Amino acid sequence: MKNIVILISGRGSNMQAIVNADIPNAKIAAVIANVPNAAGLAWAKEKGIATAVLNHKEFKNRAEFDMNLAMLIDGYKPDLVVLAGFMRILSPQFCQHYQGRLMNIHPSLLPSFKGLHTHEEAIKSGCKLAGCTVHFVTPELDSGAIISQAAVPVLNDDTADTLAARVLQCEHKIYPQAVADFVSGSLKLVDHHAVNVSRSDKNAFLLGQG
């Protein structure tokens, strides 16, 4: 059984998708938020999952918050830490502490459009495809080994909101699968690349329909 700790800042829709996937041999050990009133906390509590809050505003700097966050997480003895809408840039020390067992999903087809406002940037750039990427977290923002990706077409009348809604549907499919692959042991880091040894392809690529 693998222990999973999920970090959220809001409603945690990807957290909910992972919990609802009921992944074999996976235990959601805790859901931790940096925002006291994060809506996802109430949802997790209703599911009987342990929850905790560590308000980043109560710490004088990022390093101090990250140190205390790591201490809180480690109390649950995690095999994997999952960022699910956790709106904090994590320090290099935190990322290195969980190297190879810290996972995130980003709403673009990395390496394109790192950071914020990804859907606006995709539309403005005239992209025909947009999507999301599950990746391991490293100190460099949105630059860790790519685990899986999913894409949707960018429609002529798309706004950032309509595009985001379609991409989110893909997120809810590939993120639980990535966690399941980690838990099963089929997901490996080889020469800084994520390889799924249970499939012939190294990065699952799904095409969502508009």
Domain end position, chosen among 98, 122, 140: 98
Do 116 and 179 fall within a single domain?
yes
Do 165 and 84 fall within a single domain?
no
Q: What is the pLDDT of residues 93-103, one digit of tens each?
A: 999 999 999 99
Do 141 and 196 fall within a single domain?
yes
Mean pLDDT of 96-111: 98
State yes or no: pLDDT of 53 exceeds 90: yes
Do 188 and 207 fall within a single domain?
yes
Do 93 and 9 fall within a single domain?
yes
Q: Return the amino acid letter for 92.
A: P
pLDDT of residue 121: 98
> Pick the catalytic residue: 56, 106, 135, 193?
106
Do 56 and 127 fall within a single domain?
no
State yes or no: pLDDT of 191 exceeds 60: yes
pLDDT of residue 209: 46
User: Which spans in the chain are helix H?
Assistant: 13-20, 39-46, 62-74, 92-97, 118-124, 160-184
Q: What is the CATH number of the domain that holds 66?
A: 3.40.50.170
Do 144 and 70 fall within a single domain?
no
**Locate tokens 């089929």: which residue?**
186
pLDDT of residue 203: 44
**Locate tokens 């990535």: which residue?**
178
Q: Are 23 and 15 in contact (CB under 8 A)?
A: no
Whether 106 sits among the annotated catalytic residues: the reply is yes
Do 125 and 93 fall within a single domain?
no
Question: Average pLDDT of the chain?
Answer: 94
pLDDT band at residue 197 under the 50/70/90 scheme: confident
Q: What distance in Å separates the CA atoms of residue 210 and residue 208, rounded to the nearest whole number?
A: 7
Higher pLDDT, 171 or 203: 171
State yes or no: pLDDT of 202 exceeds 50: no
State yes or no: pLDDT of 58 exceeds 80: yes
Chain centre distance of CA 188: 17
Residue 75 structural domain: 1-98
